[in-house]
Amino acid sequence: MADERLPRDPLLREAAVKDARPETPARPFIHLRVHSAYSLLEGALQLGAIVGHAVKDECPAIAVTDTNNLF
């Protein structure tokens, strides 16, 4: 069994399993419905924070689809 090859220590086991996972998915994931603070009653994050999360998660793109906004 593959489980027998993993360390018994929970921290070492978690690290071994994490190292076995690929860093990036085979196909990139793109959020196609993101609401920012400009969407009344739907979004809470400012655009800068949304972009920051996308960069951190290595998203190649996002679709900001704000609705019900007033300018």
- Give the Cα separation of 63 and 32 in Å (integer): 5
- pLDDT for residue 42: 87
Phi, psi of 62, rounded to the nearest 5 degrees? -140, 160
- pLDDT for residue 15: 66
- Give the Cα separation of 30 and 57 in Å (integer): 10
Return per-residue pLDDT of the chain as tens, 71 residues. Answer: 556 676 677 766 676 666 555 566 667 788 899 999 988 888 889 999 999 999 988 888 999 999 988 76
Among 26, 1, 6, 31, smallest CA distance to 18 is for 6
